[in-house]
Structure 1
Amino acid sequence: MDLDASVDPRCHPTAVLPELVSYLEGLPEPHILCDSRYRIVAANAAYRRQFSPQASVVGRTCYAVSHHFSVPCDQAGERCPLARSRASGRRERVLHLHHTPQGESYVDIELVPLRDAQGAPAWFVEKMEPLRVAQGQPAAQGLVGRAPAFQRMLELVARVGPSQAGVLLLGESGTGKELVAQAVHAASPRAGRPLVVVDCASLPQSLFESELFGHDRGAFTGASTSRAGLVEAAGGGTLFLDEVGDIPLPMQVKLLRLLESGTYRRVGSTELRRADVRVVAATHRDLRAMVADGRFREDLYYRLSTFPITLPPLRERVEDIPLLAVALLARVAPRRRLALSAGALAVLQRHPFPGNVRELRNVLERAALLADGNTLDPVHLERALGTDTPASGALVVAALPDTGAAVVDVRPVQASDASLRSVERAALQAQLRVHRGSRAELARKLGISERSLYRKLRDIAREPPA
């Protein structure tokens, strides 16, 4: 056990509860033992390996080690499990963003109070399990965010993941429902088995039953061989029903039977098969309204919504846009080290993003294609968002055919985007008629990069003449 010679002798673990310290040392999950003043009096081997391989934490406060705070979590705007447990006398569980040797990571904390001879909580055992499916910093894969709305959603994922309960993911299109389904699966005991995605919106009614449950040979015209369905393919794992609100009403009863009894039959078969799957469903539709309208079965709705999780739209987690932008740029342009200027970031944070994270990704991919260098500026984001039509004042390239020169004329312009493109097209065409040098020289004359010039010429060639 790590010991620090400078620790108050009263915090020495062997002077506290030697049997408990010995027990914690052998546990496979990271554990620490704290006193009522937040001081760590013991840290087991699993904790030392994952969170503090270089330095001892014994004698330091838990909030200084985990958060680099100078005050307890509850005084720094966080939910402190120790303070809550000291007040309630009960076990407490929270999801925290901790500093680790790998950077900031989400950690699922379960804290248990231990009472003294007078019955008051005196010692606190914290079990810590990193939640590897989400990050509080840009990451190549998985969920990224640290906004309060994101953390509330993630805490529900951490709670339901290890169980067998069915999960219903609710949220607007583009909020990342499939990523959250992957997180639920990864946090479950089924993580080593398949996660099978069923795109309910793309399956016509005539194929839905066969795709989901499979069919026997000769079950219908063209069924020359027997075929297992997606339920069978997900055996032992998770079945993710994406856009479950689009399942045809006649097919809903067949899904209900699977959920209620855990059994199904292949199309054309009388053999009853047992399914070993956990069902996670998702939809952007208002299922309650659909139930009221008779478009979705009420019994199926209640069967699916054992544990509903609402995914926050991007407009409710604007503070996550910088993190998301860095992570998404690394995904859409992995070979370029792209960065956002402060102005470009401000443009993104002002946009409402009705398409949520999916729209943000598309915008960043377009902006990356529009940028020649390694920095995305406001002009790139405005063009990618389609908001670059000037209301007053514009830079117009004016051609001077007699001299072969080009000047940039700054003057008020009240014009549509189409008319501005016409001006630019006419100016470039005029320059092409009089220019006798290379394209690189023309680009220098116009004050733009050669790549930008070729792109403008390509765009102009695709447009019909004015």
Structure 2
Amino acid sequence: MTEAGWLNTMTNVLDSYQDPAVLIDADYNVVATNSRYDYRFGGLSSAASEKCYYLSHGYQRPCDLEGETCPMQEARDSDKRASVLHIHNTPQGKEHMVIETIPITDEEERPYFIEVMKQVREVSAEPIANKMIGRSPRFNELVELIQRVGETSTNVLLVGPSGAGKELAAQAIHAASPRVRKPFVTVECSGLSDSLFESELFGHIKGAFTGATHNRTGLVQSAEGGTLFLDEVGDVPLAQQVKLLRLIETKTFRPVGESKPMAADFRLVCATHKNLLAMVEKGEFREDLFHRISTFPIQLPGLEERKEDLPLLVESILLRIDDQAPLRLTDEALQLLATYPFKGNIRELKNILERAVVLRADDEIGADVIQRSLNLLPLQPLPSRDGKNLTSLAREKASLEQVEQAYLQQLLATYSDKTQVAEIAGCSLRTLYRKLEQGEDA
């Protein structure tokens, strides 16, 4: 068979794939494409062939020479199928793609490679609302893990600092799973007291307890067939952890007041900003429960670990603050933000930008406005609500809970934004609400 005839045959093979696919020779030339590639990316130019790294990234040399993993090189070295996450240039902008590369040979034993491109729709490499956003290597590592585990039914534990986007990551796992068309149900564990735990998770029947005037469907049943997301699972009361363990192990539960167990069908994803292993050692978290929920742990990077994504995140947040005004930061303003530690991560970045939008004189936000926004943050702990210092509180023999409540109330009196108060106090927003409710009940 002639080379032209073999290429025609391979074009038919490429058309059997449901995703865009190309055939690449040993010199990185794209020599054939399928119809889905032509439709998605516009096909090849009039030239006989084009370099794959130029078409995909605009590079002038192979990906591995640009600091990225080259799927073709991996397939060539191993002589096996390789899979790599890349960011490709597309007519719609930059998009995350999983590239599967398959090494083959022609009749004369010359090496070729089939590359199949699958778009990752759960995240974005462009500014867009309600999705995880990023292009940095650390972010791409996270996306690759989400893609791999998303296709399974494995329990996932998301670990990361407050404000790092754990709930968005959980939603991305759900969106990448076969359960995507079923419910995604969030359980806010920080707000679940001993008395509320069973009723919230498992529901109750009419007359189960005083005030139960009707049947109530629990969150576990609401997640039937979908994903149950336990946010801040480290805050589940120790006395209730055995009931959560039983639910996970048996996939059954009983609504409060019901004698017969019900089957539960859900995929479990948990999240926490706490060190659960340290809690296990202190006896604050059950070891058997820890091992059940942490089958596949994923560490989410803080913003400090992915500063390369800062310009993209800034653009995205500004669009969400006001999509009618062409808001932008100057280069000097971006450079100033790049030096900031962001202990509150993306949530803190959002607060800083919202303050800057309020303080700005026009649609271009300079370094002076960002500095003013940063200066609104407190530099040291505040006194208690009535102005007493720690010494006077100690003399009054105030408990730790009373000191904490006094501090939180002073923060609330100074800063109206509860999200900012949570960041200053070093806790999640849900934990802040729980602590405030405890103060009201005291």
Q: What TM-score, normalized by structure 2, do the two folds share?
A: 0.81
1:95 to 2:116 alignment: no
Q: How far is 1:353 from its partner?
A: 0.7
The counterpart of 2:100, out of the listed 105, 110, 125, is 110
- SS for the counterpart of 2:120 is strand
CA contact (8 A) 2:231 2:272 kept: yes
- Give every structure 1 segment of 4 or more consecutive aligned residues whose post-TM-superposition deviation is greater than 3 Å: 53-58, 115-118
CA contact (8 A) 2:33 2:43 kept: no
| Equivalent residue, structure 2, for 1:151 | 140
CA contact (8 A) 2:88 2:96 kept: yes
Distance 1:271 1:55, change over 3 A: farther
CA contact (8 A) 1:43 1:58 kept: no
RMSD: 2.1
CA contact (8 A) 2:7 2:32 kept: no
Counterparts of residues 26-37 of structure 1 (less than 5 Å): 26-37=16-27
1:126 to 2:130 alignment: no
**Number of matched pairs:** 377
| Equivalent residue, structure 1, for 2:68 | 78
Counterparts of residues 269-288 of structure 1 (less than 5 Å): 269-288=258-277
Compare relative contact order (CA 8 Å, sep 6+) and give the higher one, 1 or 2. Answer: 2
The counterpart of 2:337, out of the listed 330, 348, 363, is 348
**Sequence identity of aligned pairs in percent?**
47
Q: How far is 1:115 from its partner?
A: 4.8
Q: How far does the alpha carbon of each residue in 1:253-295 deviate from its partner, in whole angstroms, 9 at most, with x for none? A: 1111222222211111122212121111100000111111111
Q: Determine the C-alpha separation between the residues in 2 that align with 1:157 and 1:165.
A: 11
The counterpart of 1:382, out of the listed 354, 371, 377, is 371
Q: How far does the alpha carbon of each residue in 1:297-354 deviate from its partner, in whole angstroms, 9 at most, with x for none? A: 1111111111111111111111211111111011122232211012211221111010
Q: How far is 1:137 from its partner?
A: 2.6
Distance 1:121 1:282, change over 3 A: farther
| Equivalent residue, structure 1, for 2:362 | 373
Q: More deviation in 220-229 or 137-146?
A: 137-146
| Equivalent residue, structure 2, for 1:22 | 12
Q: Determine the C-alpha separation between the residues in 1 that align with 2:376 and 2:55.
A: 46
Q: Determine the C-alpha separation between the residues in 1 that align with 2:35 and 2:350.
A: 41
| Equivalent residue, structure 2, for 1:412 | none
- SS for the counterpart of 1:256 is helix
CA contact (8 A) 1:113 1:121 kept: no
Q: How far is 1:55 from its partner?
A: 4.9
Q: Which runs of 5+ in 1 are unaligned?
A: 1-8, 390-466
CA contact (8 A) 1:264 1:274 kept: yes
Counterparts of residues 23-422 of structure 1 (less than 5 Å): 23-52=13-42, 55=45, 59-115=49-105, 122-386=111-375
Q: More deviation in 132-141 or 358-367?
A: 132-141
CA contact (8 A) 1:40 1:57 kept: no
- SS for the counterpart of 2:171 is helix
Q: How far is 1:61 from its partner?
A: 2.1
Q: How far is 1:58 from its partner?
A: 6.8
Q: Determine the C-alpha separation between the residues in 2 that align with 1:29 and 1:35.
A: 20
Q: Determine the C-alpha separation between the residues in 1 that align with 2:46 and 2:153.
A: 38
Which protein has the larger Cα radius of gyration, Structure 1 or Structure 2?
Answer: 1
Amino acid of the structure 2 residue aligned with 1:135 = S
